Structure 1
């Protein structure tokens, strides 16, 4: 089981934080955080439900992480193992995660795939998302996997879709001309783009695209 204690800084003051595996007793708090992150008109049926969370802890508890600040759960990140090969990269979020139920988790997979990362809005200035991502990198190394992988939303793309392709949008992010709330965050976390994937998820702001981004295990041969 994973447990990492550290400090984050709030207005220059160190505050104790903890990343650990989430458990069934945490489900109400995890669902509350989903509600805070995705308030109405976001469909409530798309928030985590107890069956999904139960699958996370029963099928792959190592990939079910939460972060606490002063003892209060402030966010979570979930992953599953898949067997991924670069010669057939296209997929949808629903396909690769079994719609969040991770029933396709492959214990012998070569890749840790990010199902979700959520940080409560009141804790978003503490760098918790980057800490959770780092914890998942620890898991990649510990299990000897090839990579961490996930599809990032492109919520800024709709502003430019009339004049550039998704590939051109990603290139503009990489050369510093543009910033994207999600993709730029993932770049700060050490993730690198592989390609844009059409119809990755139903998301008007991203024009239904996702950017497939990986972090390669530096110890993997």
Structure 2
């Protein structure tokens, strides 16, 4: 396996996902998104399709000493109409098979990222985001976009509208387990997507976020 990035302590390495990892990748997905509707979860056959369609956009984190797959991310190339950014997750990712991948797309779309609960707090999502941003630079793309899941909103949905919640997260008045982390990595909120997917933790909302490649004019 070709190592793309390594953690500072050399304990973990980012590599491109391979077909033999499919079952482990699906286990990470299940553990990372327990509230996601079953029809929206990425299964082993989906991961194999991702690797076949766009291998460069599929990243996995390996624990070097054990060879265990402990985190992963999925991306595809796309074109973005920022005036009409609202969309449904499953439509954007071709029913999780990534058949919507556009080899000439000028943006990288983040379909999925997850860290196994046993390995959280070790900087593995940072490794994956760094790998994604490196890919954006290597391909000369305009940047990276995604439908972030505001997973802290579900318990608060009766207390405030989603717009107020996101505003408070952006201002640092509230901390969201997903969106706050992405904002710290240089992403900006472009807009809110209702009915993005089916997940009670985020009340089915997505937040369209954008990271611009500083090496490319937008």
Q: What TM-score comes out, normalization by structure 2 length?
A: 0.90
TM-align CA RMSD: 2.0
- Which residues of 2 match residues 64-213 of structure 1 at below 5 A? 64-70=58-64, 71-213=67-209
CA positional deviation for 1:47: 3.9
SS at match of 1:81: strand
1:11 corresponding residue in structure 2:
none
Q: Distance in 2 between matches of 1:31 and 1:156?
A: 23
Q: Distance in 1 between matches of 2:20 and 2:133?
A: 25
Could you tell me which runs of 5 or more consecutive residues in structure 1 were left unpaired when the two chains were aligned. Answer: 9-13
Q: CA deviation at 1:179?
A: 0.7
Superposed displacement of residue 79, structure 1: 0.4
Separation (CA, whole Å) in 1 of partners of 2:47 and 2:17: 9
Residue 42 (structure 1) shift: 6.0
Q: Aligned-pair distance for 1:15?
A: 4.5
Match of 2:26 among 27, 31, 34: 31
Higher relative contact order by CA 8 Å / sep ≥ 6: 1 or 2? 2
What CA distance in whole angstroms lies between the structure 2 residues aligned with 1:48 and 1:134? Answer: 22
Which sections of structure 2, spanning at least 5 residues, go unmatched?
Answer: none
Instruction: From the superposition, tell whether residues 42 and 195 of structure 1 become closer, same or farther in structure 2 (CA, over 3 Å).
Output: closer
Structure-2 separation of matches of 1:134 and 1:17: 14
Q: CA deviation at 1:33?
A: 2.2
CA distance in 2, matches of 1:48, 1:84: 23
Change (3 A) 1:32 1:126: same
Among 29, 50, 57, which residue is 1:63 paired with? 57
Question: Counterpart of 2:202 in 1: which secondary structure?
Answer: coil
| Partner SS state of residue 205, structure 1 | helix
Q: Deviations over 1:152-178 (max 9, x none)?
A: 111222333334322221110121111
Cα contact 2:5–2:131 (8 A) shared by 1: no
8 A Cα contact 1:63 1:78, kept in partner: yes
Change in 2 beyond 3 A, CA 1:147/1:87: same
Displaced runs of 4 or more, over 2 A: 1-8, 31-39, 41-51, 158-165
